[in-house]
Amino acid sequence: MNQAAAAGEEALARGAGGAMLYDASCLHHPDTAVFDPAHWQAQGALETTRGGRGTVAFVRASQDQRWVLRHYRRGGLIAHLADDLYVWTGADRTRSFREWRLLHRLRAWGLPVPTPVAARYQRAGLCYRADLVTAELPVRRTLAQALQQESLPDGTWHAIGQCVGALHARGVQHADLNAHNLLVGVNNDIYVLDFDRGRIRARGQWERAVFARLRRSLLKVTAGLPAGRFTVAHWQALLAGAGAG
């Protein structure tokens, strides 16, 4: 690919039928092979895959770097017709480029989100396919998984609220905040995943919708679990942490 790069800044490499964005401080030589789990498997660096049809892959990029590869796939009924194709409306409007740039800004603000490594699109007629590579966060346990295992203390719920509140303070709207894309680490460290379709906008009523979606997700994942996994007190602690109580 033809590259134009400056270390630590957004760099663009173009190729036949597509292009990739990357951070030259993370990826010194842009190569579309980094998006391919088979490439990493051949090197013995593929650790595991998750999601439907291996949508997400965890790889060891080097001795001290672990990356997460994600192939964009559709959900809902349209997935039966075109599970990974999106209508082409320009490079800057591709799902992967928009998420890479959003994550790049959020990291610059010091928010607890993944570091973007590389993003690409591949044209397919009037459509395109997309991929994203991010640095793996310090923990993999999602809030949903944590709740399957134990009841979390009020302090953890307060920390979750603080994390969401920090996003909203910057006007960051997560398009699908739920118990599966919040990670819970030690010492109540909270991280947020999956900013596909996320955006930055003026603060407003959309914040209530984000909390409502999160609450529905929590009710769903704790349905049938032992009593006490998600209570009114937990939700109030979360809202208090976010400054939305």
176 annotated active-site:
yes
Report how far Cα 151 is from the mean position of its chain's Cα atoms: 25
Considering 83, 154, 176, 189, which one is annotated as catalytic? 176
Quick one: tokens of 194? 């999956």
CA-to-CA distance for 166 and 25, rounded, in angstroms?
Answer: 27
Please report, in angstroms and rounded to a whole number, the separation of the first and last CA atoms in the chain: 51
Phi/psi at 229 (5° precision) = -70, -30
- Identify each DSSP E strand in the chain by its residue range: 2-4, 10-15, 18-23, 46-50, 56-62, 65-71, 86-87, 116-124, 127-135, 172-173, 182-184, 190-192, 199-200
- Residues designated catalytic: 176
